[in-house]
Amino acid sequence: MAKVTHLNVTGSPHSTEEAGRNPGTKFDLGPVKDVRVNRSAVERRAGTMSTRRTVKKEHQAAWLIHAVKTIDLTTLSGDDTVGTVKRLCAKARQPIRDELLRDVGYPERLATGAVCVYHHFVAAAVEALQGSGIPVAAVSTGFPAGLNPFPQKIAEIEASVKDGASEIDIVISREHVLNGDWRALFDEVKAFREACGPAHMKAIIATGELGTFKNIMRASIVCMQAGSDFIKTSTGKEPTNATIAGSLVMVRAVRQYYEQTGVKVGFKPAGGIRTAKQALDWLILMKEELGEEWMQPHLFRLGASALVNDIERQLEHFAYGRYASMQYQPLG
């Protein structure tokens, strides 16, 4: 039986500290004003991303196993309960069946990158994941619209950190971007970063609601200047969520920030990522645009809820030559 060929990357699944923290910079309007985006070139590059490079057979299996390590396994539904969160945490601990991992030739421990929940369930998730090393991420600051009063946003961050969240996914106020008020955006995100304390902060810029690629690029730059450890595409609640084109603009902002400051900021696409093929597309994007280190969980996350199920089906096909029905897949 064929065995997986391990992806040549370094780092452990739960090592956000390996990337260090983004200390941020002083507010600098120069790089924001200097943004130029060729929409046709971006769309052309995005359209050929998955056709120029393919990953097959044992290499594909290895990439898919690696993708599992980067998933922020997420439940953000109005009908969430402590029970559903605990089941999700159990799935995060063992996302793929042991016998399947054995049969594809992967002998190591496998877990997801994090579990992402509303503040209300942070304490339950922390308890359920105790001893696993899997971090809990909390969505915050009036998720998903980001329209709560500012003091309430700060209080929500602080409460999640107090309950044990080690990662905070904040949402920016889109009006600052749409009005071109970059100083207001910087001040807001910087205050969120300070409220996070030791917790890593992911800034959700909601690409589908910013109107233009130029706005996406500018918002990404300002959030990184303000100290965001990650920039994230979407809440998953917008009509348009993660796209390869919008992600391409964001990762090039990450590269520009690294070239200017020497600081490595992470990237997280989220919303609508449901298939193994999509996971491969984003891994290819990271490899081609930023290199293998940015494929690691401390610099790359996939926000998803149903993705693990499809990855498991693809691994079953690799191991046994057939797909199992979705009814046999474990659900969070």
CA atoms within 13 Å, Cβ hemisphere of 42: 19
List, by residue number, the catalytic residues. Answer: 169, 232, 268
The Cα angle at residue 103 between residues 112 and 129, in degrees rounded to 5 = 25
In Å, what is the CA distance from 88 to each residue of 114, 142, 300?
Answer: 11, 23, 21
- 235: tokens are 């809440």
Phi, psi of 85 (to 5 degrees): -65, -40
How far apart CA 57 and CA 73 sit, in angstroms, is 25
How far apart CA 268 and CA 63 sit, in angstroms, is 17
How far apart CA 130 and CA 250 sit, in angstroms, is 34
Q: Which of 12, 30, 176, 3 is closest to 101 using CA atoms?
A: 3
How far apart CA 55 and CA 48 sit, in angstroms, is 15
How far apart CA 232 and CA 172 sit, in angstroms, is 11
How far apart CA 109 and CA 65 sit, in angstroms, is 11
What secondary structure letter does DSSP report for 6? P
- Specify whether the CB–CB gap between 66 and 7 falls below 8 A: yes
